[in-house]
Amino acid sequence: MRWILILWALPLAVFWGWFGLSYYDMNFGYVMLSRGLHDLVFELYGELLGLEPATIPWLLAKAFVIDTLILFGILAFRRRRAIAAWIQRRRERYSGVEPARST
């Protein structure tokens, strides 16, 4: 499961890192991070998909949120016993019922 999380997070970090740097034209001398290439990439994707290029980042953000929810749902399902035990411990701690102390 650790590798699934790594393989999920790495492309997200790379894409949003590139998107943020190229959107604000912080290119550090690299053409790949320039605003011109940013506009060209999204114009190309817009032509291929038949969409307005300005809507593509929002569609990607929505897809990433849905993928994240699905992935964390799978993770929660796999660890449901540990999560249930943690919730039970917290309920016992905050319910005001203290265990009897031995003297």
User: Is pLDDT of 93 > 90?
Assistant: no
pLDDT digits (tens, 9 = 90+) for 30-89: 999 999 999 999 999 999 999 999 999 999 999 999 999 999 999 999 999 999 999 999
SS3 letters for the chain? CHHHHHHHHHHHHHHHHHHHHHHCCCCCCCHHHCHHHHHHHHHHHHHHHCCCHHHHHHHHHHHHHHHHHHHHHHHHHHCHHHHHHHHHHHHHHHCCCCCCCCC
